């Protein structure tokens, strides 16, 4: 019998809950489904036996505390673990996961009757899971292991500690938050109310990932104001907003896009384009690990806008650009204790820490700049945000082990 008998049933229950966030929404959380799921987590945390379980009014995070069971915890830091409840912008309705027992590490995995498959040729990381039980989609939706694997692992860890009071620990704080996938979830995070002295997001990918370096991130929305007249009378009058959008794209460096970059290389990523001759809109995300290069990328966008507007009597290219988050390494590298602790926890469990820059961000990116350094631990998912997502039961168990080992090390001081 597995050490964590509720882990897989809990995970399967969670992923069947549709909790996709909505970037167009003005509410917090951005979707009612997240509200409902958060309320269910509150009930579950109370059933497990945690204290001070509540939904924070400002951020809508679910907060809870597992009190210390040490006789003297005066010098023991309070450690926190954080995951997000929303899923990415891909079909998340009627998630129907399938479990592949004792995967042989080489066979094709058919995703239900969808016509899609996971193959070694396309997804070579499957070779790493020989002998594991894999949980996949049926090919019609994402799985939602990002980050319901993390929610599951944190919930399972505190449940285990409650059931095993012989394991000594200091005070533990847990948080489950909304809207990470749309980049707004941690904007209102209440560090003081959370109450942790140190924290981790459990929101990473494969076994061993330990991340404390993320992108600096901004989003740019560019509006193009055209002038639409009948094509037969257009000469010298028409201004085609769609062509302005194409012109803008052509001014950006063509090789600095996600599909042509890796590692610490930054990029401009065109997320959407729509419009007519009369008006068009493009949305980009801008990413770079280096803060100076990040600022240069934003300035390039401003320069292109200014140059394009020079050809008109009035501004017809309107830029709305805002920063989203920054590279948390700037904060964490000042005191690497929280990283070294997680690294030792993994090594104690014979897990090789994989420390590399994240080509993305986590809620920890923002929370770290709020004064609570928060690196990211692996949660297990592969191929996140789409129909090819999968996760290993054994990796989820090991992620839970790491949470417990961190708790043990913190309690030892």
Q: Catalytic residues, which ones? A: 86, 180
Backbone angles phi, psi at 401, to 5 degrees: -60, -40
Q: For residue 46, what is the enclosing H or E element?
A: helix 32-48
- The answer for 39, left when phi > 0, alpha when psi is -120 to 50, beta otherwise, is alpha
d(CA 142, CA 94): 10
- The closest alpha carbon to 6, from 152, 207, 206, 135, belongs to 152
Cβ contact 173:196 at 8 Å = yes
Residue 102 CB neighbour total at 10 angstroms = 10
Q: Sign of the C-alpha dihedral, residues 323, 329, 333, 338?
A: positive
Cβ contact 158:174 at 8 Å = yes
d(CA 408, CA 340): 14
Instruction: Give the strands of the sheet with 354-355, arranged side by side.
Output: 51-55, 62-66, 172-177, 79-84, 198-204, 376-378, 209-211, 354-355
């Amino acid at each position: 019998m597995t050490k964590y008998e509720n882990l897989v049933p809990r995970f399967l229950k969670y992923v069947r809950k549709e909790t996709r966030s909505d970037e167009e929404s003005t509410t917090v959380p951005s979707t009612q489904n997240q509200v409902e799921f958060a309320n269910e987590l509150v009930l579950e945390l109370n059933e497990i036996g945690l204290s001070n379980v509540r939904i924070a009014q400002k951020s809508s995070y679910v907060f809870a505390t597992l009190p210390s069971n040490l006789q003297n915890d005066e010098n023991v830091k309070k450690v926190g673990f954080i995951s997000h409840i929303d899923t990415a912008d891909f079909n998340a309705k009627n998630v129907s996961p399938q479990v592949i027992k004792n995967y042989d590490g080489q066979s094709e995995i058919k995703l239900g009757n969808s016509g899609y498959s996971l193959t070694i040729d396309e997804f070579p990381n499957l070779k790493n899971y020989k002998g594991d039980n894999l949980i996949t989609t049926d090919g019609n939706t994402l799985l939602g292991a990002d980050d319901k694997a993390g929610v599951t692992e944190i919930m399972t860890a505190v449940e285990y500690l409650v059931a095993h009071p012989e394991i000594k620990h200091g005070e533990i704080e847990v948080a489950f938050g909304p809207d990470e996938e749309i980049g707004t979830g941690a904007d209102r995070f209440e560090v003081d109310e959370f109450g942790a002295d140190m924290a981790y997001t459990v929101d990473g990918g494969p076994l061993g990932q330990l991340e404390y370096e993320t992108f600096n991130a901004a989003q740019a929305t560019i509006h193009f104001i055209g002038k639409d007249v009948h094509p037969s009378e257009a000469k010298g009058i028409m201004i085609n907003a769609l062509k302005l959008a194409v012109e803008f794209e052509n001014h950006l460096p063509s090789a600095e896009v996600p599909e042509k970059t890796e590692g610490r290389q930054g990029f401009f990523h065109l997320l959407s384009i729509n419009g007519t001759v009369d008006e068009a809109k493009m949305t980009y995300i801008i990413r770079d690990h280096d803060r100076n290069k990040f600022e240069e990328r934003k300035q390039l966008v401003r320069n292109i806008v200014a140059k394009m507007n020079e050809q008109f009597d009035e501004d017809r290219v309107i830029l709305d650009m805002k920063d989203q988050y920054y590279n948390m390494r700037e904060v964490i590298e000042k005191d690497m204790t929280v990283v070294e602790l997680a690294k030792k926890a993994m090594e104690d469990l014979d897990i090789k820490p994989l420390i590399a820059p994240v080509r993305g961000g986590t809620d920890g990116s923002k929370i770290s700049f709020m004064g609570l350094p928060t690196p990211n631990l692996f949660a297990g998912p592969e191929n996140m945000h789409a129909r090819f997502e999968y996760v290993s039961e054994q990796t989820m168990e090991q992620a839970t082990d790491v949470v417990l080992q961190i708790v043990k090390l913190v309690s030892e001081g």
